[in-house]
Structure 1
Amino acid sequence: MSYGPQKPTARKNRAAGNQEPTSRAEDIRSRRAQRSQEQINKVTARVALPPPVRPVTVRNTGRGSLSGRETRQPVGTRARRQFYLTMDRAAGTEVRLPAIPMIRPGWRLASAFLALVMVIGIYSMWNSPFLQVEMVEVKGIQRLNPDEIAAKLNLEILMIIEVNPVQAEAELASAYPELINVRVSVGMPNAVTVSAEERQPVLAVQQGDQVNWVDASGVLFPARGDAGPLVTILAEDGLPLAPAPPVESQPAAEEAASNEEDRSASEIVKKTVPVTGPVMVDPTVLAALEGLGKLLPPETQLVYSMQDGLGWQ
């Protein structure tokens, strides 16, 4: 039996045996790669297409239904915002982040915020020393002392928003009848200005130790300051006065007292005092006095009494 021809066949079998394990390993690697790709595709599909939201149905069993069947009304639900962060696409790992709440302020929140800002602003203005009256500027006054008028108003204890110009004008007109055209103006942040004119006296009336002046219109007012040389009338009983017209009482601040610093500002503003008209001398007597004053020498002393009437010394 010859073995020569069989040697090439054995070599072929050994070569085929060496190739079989190589193809099996490749098959295993291809299957693993296919499974990994399928898992990645599933994860990608899950991220791209979130699960559908199941609608909520409401059962309507009211009397308005004629057929008596249950009707379902879909109620839309708002899906919360979700974020996915892929860590490794080959490994298929992912991290789900928490949802971020959406803040949507409504009109109630805006109204509450505006109300809070207004309350804080009013409180700051009411208690701010920047708005407190520091000084009162007086204009148009020559004989009177401006500091005396400012002290009479006593506005330094008030805030600028508490100053009432009408009440201040009425108070000055009542306390100083020699002032006319009184105007009180208020300016921000803490400016108060008083402007007025003074009556010009033409006669001086001496009654005991008290001296009053009379202007050309017959208004009798206290002598304050220096008015120069005037015709003086000695009237122990006083001059006859003209009937004063009725004047309604107007709101004004109460007269300053020694303990006024202890009272609140609102209490001072709310007080009212009657405002009377100016005291007028009888026009007939005033005309006679002016006529005698022009005819007699300047050093002549005029005298008036209820018993003897008008004369001179």
Structure 2
Amino acid sequence: MAERSSATTRADQVRARRSTQSSQRATQAKQRIRYASEAPQVIVRGNIGTPVARRASTHPRRKIAIPLGQPGAELHMPAIPMVNPGWKLLSALITIAMLALISLMYNLPVFQVGIPEVEGVSRISPLDVAAALNLQGLPVFTIDPQTVQQQVERAFIDLKDVKVSVAFPNQVRITAVERQPIIRWHAEGLEYWSDNEGVLLPVRGDMENLLLIEVNGALPVVKAEPVAKEEQTPEMAAIQALNPVQARQVQPEATEAAIKLRTFLPAEITSLAYSEADGIGWTDPRGWQVFIGNNLENLDEKMAVYEAIVSQLQDQGITPAMISVEFIHAPFYRLEQ
């Protein structure tokens, strides 16, 4: 009985040991499979390589099931993949869109400037302004109002207080105050116009009621720095021809004297005279010239002295060619010019 019990015990032990070994081998096999699935793919160069198990995809393909109206009947279709663009792609698309928009704005006629609108001007036509500025066909957003203002002031000296505004889609508006000529100067066979500030203006058309001043010699101009030829307009070139140094304004004292004297003289005197040596004056209807200088502060006294000289000369039967009362205490007259 003792031997049978011992044999049974040994048999049980063998079976238990075999069962344990089998369980260990199964566990090791499972671990090897798991480690192989987690290992990354390795590319081995050469003719002989060790096969590596591929990891199963963790993102199964999405499918859409469409019911067909019968119990248990469905139509399976693949879903549209989800697109998740990155910031680089979005930035590239925005850049391309902006470039396309800028290109359209450069080339579409709706954004191109036509003839500028000019307000406050009567003697200058908008076509003259457009020809001088050469803005037609340019995109409106490339126009700099300050630059256009400077171009207008250089091209048209008879405009002041120039303002330029730009509006979409293609409008350029120019407002200015036009200088009005009041004096017509005849000097050395040429004619020049000036306003109440003495600014020389281009001769444009016909103007009535301009005060005529006959100049004996050169026009009394203010000399300034010369302007480069490439910045000159035809009007500026004609005015600069007065003197090798650019002249754009009559001397203020000569202009002021002419305006004041015109209001003092009788209506039958329609023209004045000017001489660099004797100043402003006029031609007396009785046949001689009168000069009173450029300082008219004591005009009443000068006129009284003048009338006294004329009365004395008439009593003596003398007809002068010129009488000067520029200096009250030293008047004189000439019998010949």
Q: Would you say same fold, with TM above 0.5?
A: yes
Alignment map for 1:273-288 (pairs within 5 Å): 279-288=248-257
Equivalent residue for 1:56, pick from 38, 61, 83: 38
1:216 is the counterpart of 2:185: no
Structure 1 pair 118–84 and aligned structure 2 pair: CA distance change class (3 A): closer
Structure 2, unmatched stretches of 5+, are 1-33, 41-54, 66-73, 235-244, 284-337
Contact kept in structure 2, 1:171 and 1:253, CA below 8 Å: no
Structure 1 pair 188–303 and aligned structure 2 pair: CA distance change class (3 A): same
Q: Per-residue CA shift, 1:25-81, capped at 9, x if unaligned?
A: xxxxxxxxxxxxxxxxxxxxxxxxxxx9985247xxxxxxxxxxxxxxxx9974232
| Distance (whole Å) between structure 1 residues aligned to residue 247 and residue 218 of structure 2 | 16
| Distance (whole Å) between structure 2 residues aligned to residue 76 and residue 140 of structure 1 | 83
Structure 1 pair 101–146 and aligned structure 2 pair: CA distance change class (3 A): closer
| Distance (whole Å) between structure 2 residues aligned to residue 82 and residue 153 of structure 1 | 66
| Distance (whole Å) between structure 2 residues aligned to residue 172 and residue 166 of structure 1 | 10
Contact kept in structure 1, 2:181 and 2:201, CA below 8 Å: no
1:131 is the counterpart of 2:111: yes
Instruction: Give the TM-score normalised by the residue count of structure 2.
Output: 0.54
| Distance (whole Å) between structure 2 residues aligned to residue 228 and residue 174 of structure 1 | 27
Contact kept in structure 2, 1:167 and 1:253, CA below 8 Å: no
Aligned to 1:267: none
Shift of 1:311: 3.4
Shift of 1:229: 0.3
Greater RCO, 1 or 2 (C-alpha within 8 Å, sep 6+): 1
Alignment map for 1:243-258 (pairs within 5 Å): 243-244=223-224
Instruction: Give the TM-score normalised by the residue count of structure 1.
Output: 0.57
Shift of 1:184: 1.8
Aligned to 2:259: 290
Amino acid in the other structure paired with 2:192: N
Structure 1 pair 217–99 and aligned structure 2 pair: CA distance change class (3 A): closer
| Distance (whole Å) between structure 2 residues aligned to residue 219 and residue 234 of structure 1 | 17
Amino acid in the other structure paired with 1:137: E
Alignment map for 1:185-196 (pairs within 5 Å): 185-196=165-176
Contact kept in structure 2, 1:178 and 1:199, CA below 8 Å: yes
1:147 is the counterpart of 2:116: no
Q: What percent identity do the matched residue pairs reach?
A: 34
Q: Secondary structure at the match of 2:222?
A: coil
Structure 1, unmatched stretches of 5+, are 1-51, 59-74, 86-93, 257-275
1:237 is the counterpart of 2:206: no
Amino acid in the other structure paired with 2:263: K
